[in-house]
Amino acid sequence: MSALDRRTFLKATAAAGLATLPTPRGAGGSLMSPHVNPPTADDPLGIRSEFPVTDEMAYLNTASVGPLSRTVRDALSAYADQKMLQHDRASLGRAKASARQKFAQLFGADEDELAFLYATSDGENVVTRAMDWKAGDNVVLDELHFTTSFVLYRELERRAGVELRIVPSHEGRGRVEDFAARTDDRTRLLSVAWVSNRNGFRYSLPELSALAHGHDAYLFADAIQAWGSFPTNLHDEGVDFACGNSYKWLFGDFGCAPLFVRREHLDWMTPDRYGHGQVAETLPDHRFRLKSNAQKFEYANVSYGPITALDGALSVLTEVGLDRIEAHTVSLAASLRAGVAELGMDIFTPPDNASSIVSFYHGLDPETLADALQDDAVRITFQEDGKLLRSAVAMFNNQDDVDRLLAVLARLV
């Protein structure tokens, strides 16, 4: 099939797939929304006008940084105006309460199981510092994880005598059986990137949860590449802890990382630092009753600007619908994967993987490829000294964006 015929076929396939996308609906089943337009072949989710970056380039880089929507820009502008003029300080508290409520509803958690931290790494540090480690305990994680976790557990290994056990990937996957082979009665924690930043591999958390709990261990999920890219219910997932910053697939800003702590762990988990933000009640003689829910980890003022951004971003995600986002992006990712395979490139992302990320070894000169992508206004991430390309298909992308990347690659092969 020629490149032109293939592009025509893929566009027709994408257009035909519009009818399969769920319809966006709001409370009570009414059609939405101020942010979502009627779907078209070029804009299957009706969301491109919310993201001005689509006028500038084929932005296939949300796995690095998600661009702001108009809604979030307006929310941040209103926040800046409030700080400048001090007309409505109560808006800060309202935004925090609203964001917590929206996040809980969207991801199947209870509000008192959620804390707003500053970074994804804060969440894993909070969890590990609350645990009573003994020399000889072990932690199991896989090589598809993000760098931060290796840094954290190597330091825990050095300071507390805790063994770090690393599961090798198999054809781009972290297999449950390989975790099981390294998990025993001294295992205290399994830690995974729910969706790998390296190749987009998406774990089935219930399987890992069953493995961890069968050994009286816990499961932590780095959710930064997961929040906002597919529907989920954290209670049903069986995960004990999950944390992820909001500047990627949530399309918020740096500095707001929702942490989920399953309710049953709140009694034994103690914060790793203390401050006025944890006070639930002021008692006589400078004594205090501290919060007992997940907000006890918000020890100081939270980042109100990024939380305001998250509040606006969650409105957009709710109105578009996580089910529609997953159906659209996974379909586009499959189209991209097929095109890369047709060019004979080595794909790192496993097949039939339900995520929006496709990583592949391009086999080209990295500088030449980078220049060509720049000239054609395609934004993407190079990894592994430029040898690996990581593409990330978001809700605002369309088939033309995918075809633009494939056309650049085809010219250079």
**What is the Cα–Cα distance from 233 to 224, expressed in whole angstroms?**
16
User: b/e per residue, 260-287, with b = 16+ CB within 10 A?
Assistant: bbbeeebeebebeeeeebbeeeeeeeee
3-state secondary structure of 388: strand
**Domain end point (choices 284, 302, 317):** 317
**Domain end point (choices 298, 317, 336):** 317
Answer whether residue 211 shows pLDDT above 50. yes
What residues are paired with 347 via a beta bridge?
360
Q: Is residue 255 included in any domain, yes or no?
A: yes
Answer whether residue 380 shows pLDDT above 60. yes
Answer whether residue 89 shows pLDDT above 90. no
pLDDT value at position 21?
A: 55
3-state secondary structure of 218: strand
Q: Is residue 69 included in any domain, yes or no?
A: no
**What is the Cα–Cα distance from 294 to 265, expressed in whole angstroms?**
10
Question: 103-135, pLDDT tens digit by residue?
Answer: 999 999 999 999 999 999 999 999 999 999 999
Q: Is residue 258 included in any domain, yes or no?
A: yes
Range of the domain at 166: 86-317
Question: 18-33, pLDDT tens digit by residue?
Answer: 334 554 444 333 334 5
pLDDT value at position 247?
A: 98
Is residue 50 within 8 Å of 71, Cβ to Cβ? yes
Query: What mean pLDDT is predicted for residues 296-305?
Result: 96
User: Which one, of 354, 311, 378, lies nearest residue 195 by Cα?
Assistant: 354
At 374, phi and psi to the nearest 5?
Answer: -60, -45
Same domain, 311 and 256: yes
Same domain, 246 and 378: no
Same domain, 377 and 337: yes
Answer whether residue 11 shows pLDDT above 60. no
Same domain, 280 and 386: no
Same domain, 261 and 396: no
Same domain, 255 and 360: no
Looking at the chain, the whole-number percentage of residues with pLDDT higher than 90 is: 90
Is residue 194 within 8 Å of 205, Cβ to Cβ? yes
How many angstroms separate the Cα of 154 from the Cα of each of 124, 141, 223, 298, 397? 13, 12, 21, 26, 39
Answer whether residue 329 shows pLDDT above 80. yes
How many Cα atoms are found within 13 Å in the side-chain-facing hemisphere of 219? 27
Q: Among 32-46, 172-186, 331-345, whose mean pLDDT is lowest?
A: 32-46
Is residue 306 within 8 Å of 246, Cβ to Cβ? yes
Same domain, 26 and 131: no
Q: Is residue 67 included in any domain, yes or no?
A: no
- Confidence class for position 160, pLDDT limits 50, 70, 90: very high
Same domain, 27 and 100: no
CATH of residue 137: 3.40.640.10
pLDDT value at position 27?
A: 37
pLDDT value at position 16?
A: 35
**Domain end point (choices 293, 317, 341):** 317
DSSP 202: B
Query: What mean pLDDT is predicted for residues 237-266?
Result: 98
- Confidence class for position 17, pLDDT limits 50, 70, 90: very low
This prediction has a pTM of 0.90
For Cα atoms 160, 127, 185, give the angle at the middle one, nearest 5 degrees: 60
Is residue 364 within 8 Å of 43, Cβ to Cβ? no
Same domain, 55 and 191: no
Q: Is residue 71 included in any domain, yes or no?
A: no
DSSP 358: E
Q: Is residue 70 included in any domain, yes or no?
A: no
pLDDT value at position 36?
A: 86
Answer whether residue 101 shows pLDDT above 70. yes
Same domain, 116 and 214: yes
- The token pair at 82 is 């409030």
Looking at the chain, the whole-number percentage of residues with pLDDT higher than 70 is: 92
- CA dihedral sign of residues 313, 314, 318, 323: positive
* Tokens 């369309």, residue located: 398
**What is the Cα–Cα distance from 269 to 295, expressed in whole angstroms?**
12
CATH of residue 43: 3.90.1150.10
pLDDT value at position 35?
A: 77
User: Which one, of 174, 191, 182, 187, lies nearest residue 125 by Cα?
Assistant: 191
Q: How many domains is the chain partitioned into structurally?
A: 2
* Tokens 């010219």, residue located: 411
Q: Is residue 81 included in any domain, yes or no?
A: no
How far from chain centre, in Å, is Cα 167? 22
Same domain, 32 and 90: no
pLDDT value at position 266?
A: 98
pLDDT value at position 19?
A: 37
How far from chain centre, in Å, is Cα 309? 16
Answer whether residue 9 shows pLDDT above 50. no
- Confidence class for position 200, pLDDT limits 50, 70, 90: very high
Same domain, 227 and 267: yes
Average pLDDT of the chain is 92
Q: Is residue 72 included in any domain, yes or no?
A: no
Longest Cα–Cα distance in the chain: 80
Query: What mean pLDDT is predicted for residues 234-263?
Result: 98
User: Which one, of 286, 249, 338, 307, lies nearest residue 114 by Cα?
Assistant: 307
* Tokens 């830690």, residue located: 191
